[in-house]
Amino acid sequence: FLSQFVWFFFPPQDGYIDFMEYVAALSLVLRGKMEQKLRWYFKLYDVDGNGCIDRHELLNIIKAIRAINGGDHETSAEEFTNRVFDRIDVNGDGELSLDEFVEGARKDEEFMEVMMKSLDLSHIVAMI
């Protein structure tokens, strides 16, 4: 399961996860500083690499996080995504820049909680 988790959230450039990629990903998730994690999450969530996260990208990430972590949620993934954009898309352009993403996560507790849980490996490490 851990390999699948790393593969999903840390897709390798060459189609294979080598040992160093695996260790680097786990190290960042387990011991990285908040600023590093948020910047890395942004890069990870910016699927098309255009320097912004749009609603569709964030929605897919929220759905994936919920699929991995399970549990009941008061709001749908769509509602949560809309709330995030309403709260942290400062310029209202429908995309989250790196600055909006980092500042938004710092200021919005609900969004920060989801970001931190998205790569919380404590339950996986406990199984190992």
Phi and psi of 77, rounded to 5°?
A: -60, -35
- Residue 24 CB: number of other CB atoms within 10 A? 13
Instruction: Give yes or no for a contact between 17 and 7, defined as CB atoms under 8 angstroms apart.
Output: yes
Instruction: Give yes or no for a contact between 105 and 38, defined as CB atoms under 8 angstroms apart.
Output: yes
**Residue range(s) occupied by CATH 1.10.238.10 in the chain:** 33-126
Which segments in the chain show pLDDT lower than 50?
A: 1-4, 7, 124, 128
pTM (2 d.p.):
0.68
| DSSP state for residue 114 in the 8-state scheme | H
User: Which CATH architecture best describes the domain 33-126?
Assistant: Orthogonal Bundle (1.10)
pLDDT digits (tens, 9 = 90+) for 23-39: 666 665 556 677 777 88
Instruction: Give yes or no for a contact between 45 and 62, defined as CB atoms under 8 angstroms apart.
Output: no
C-alpha torsion sign, points 122, 124, 127, 128: negative
Sort 91 into a burial class: Cβ within 10 Å, 0-12 / 13-18 / 19+: exposed
